[in-house]
Amino acid sequence: KESGKASWVRFEPRMRQDMVHHARLASELHNAIIRGELRLLYQPVFDLVTGRVAGAEALVRWQHPTRGFVSPADFIPVAERSGLIVPLGAWVLREACAQLSRWRAEFGPDAIESVNVNVAVRQLRETGFVDEVAAVLSDHGLTSRNVILEVTESSVVDGWQVRDTLEALHEMGVHLALDDFGTGQSSLSLLRQFPVDVLKLDKSFVDGIASGADRGRLAVAAAVAQLAEHLQLKAVAEGIENEEQLDRLREMGYRYGQGYFMAKPLPAAECGALMSGAGRSFAA
């Protein structure tokens, strides 16, 4: 079905295995949500100029009782196809907002201002998504300034319904980040059509930055930084793994960055510890 309506694909035994695997994973995921096997880690977003923590991205983790750790790269696509992403995403949004309000209670003005939450296209298509966001924010004593929704380029080209939803969120004051920026089909025209506030340069471009290893990717990374500056958007570089990448990105004009070089996704308490006093910055 995925290859389009009017084509036939030979049904290989491997595909049957995949289908069975997906069906089983989907039903286990359903139980996981109910049983509370999901949790969130938070990857700090750093201000590359001051070295301070400027935000945090919520990343879901699934500790399966027998399979062990299941990567979101494996179960998020399954959740999207089965529709489970809707309750899963609702849980993520609620939990991330609850955590931000706990950090605010604990660290006061030192706490980050907003938390980043990944949102799948399926959620954006759900009627009532905008109301849900508003309700979750108010339930936790937060405002629209306190959450940044991360959407991918491919999800926003989905049609008028998604477009209306994004516009309504923008009207409400919720900031939108284009995730994995540069990997999609129509990056540039999208920026004029959608109310985007943040560009997150995809890790693949950051990977190509090391001493002229890949001039094409280097050029894209530099161009995205300039684009962000001209359009007055925040530029965030994803997946920074070494000091050389960090330095080059800073030179290019990236004000914000995430990556293992500064911090991996962390349990809430460890991420919070970076917000308080002296612990707040990485060795810039």
Which residues of this protein are in contact with ligand C2E, per CB under 6 A? 43, 59-60, 71-73, 76, 89, 92, 118-120, 150, 179-180, 238-241, 258-260, 265
- Of 32-40, 46-54, 103-111, 235-243, the window that binds Mg ion (rule: CB under 5 A) is 235-243
**Which amino acid makes up residue 53?**
V
Nearer to ligand C2E, 68 or 277 (CB): 68
Minimum Å gap between C-beta 75 and ligand C2E is 9
Contacts of 18 (CB under 8 A, 6+ apart): none
Residue 93 CB burial class (10 angstroms; 0-12, 13-18, ≥19): buried
Nearer to ligand C2E, 28 or 150 (CB): 150
Q: At 271, is the secondary structure helix, strand, or coil?
A: helix
Q: Does 80 bind Mg ion (CB under 5 A)?
A: no
According to DSSP, the residues that pair with 41 across neighbouring strands are 59
Nearer to Mg ion, 84 or 120 (CB): 120
Return d(Cα 105, Cα 49) in angstroms, integer. 27
Minimum Å gap between C-beta 195 and ligand C2E is 20
- Of 77-85, 125-133, 172-180, 206-214, the window that binds Mg ion (rule: CB under 5 A) is 172-180
Return d(Cα 202, Cα 235) in angstroms, integer. 11
Return d(Cα 72, Cα 38) in angstroms, integer. 11
Per CB under 5 A, the list member of 44, 149, 180, 274 interacting with Mg ion is 180
Nearer to Mg ion, 82 or 116 (CB): 116
76 binds, among Mg ion, ligand C2E, none (CB under 5 to 8 A by kind): ligand C2E
241 binds, among ligand C2E, Mg ion, none (CB under 5 to 8 A by kind): ligand C2E
Q: For residue 173, give Cα distances in angstroms to 62, 138, 163, 167, 280.
A: 31, 14, 15, 10, 27
Query: 57: which 2 tokens?
Result: 């991205």
- Residues lying near Mg ion in the complex (CB under 5 A): 118, 150, 179-180, 238
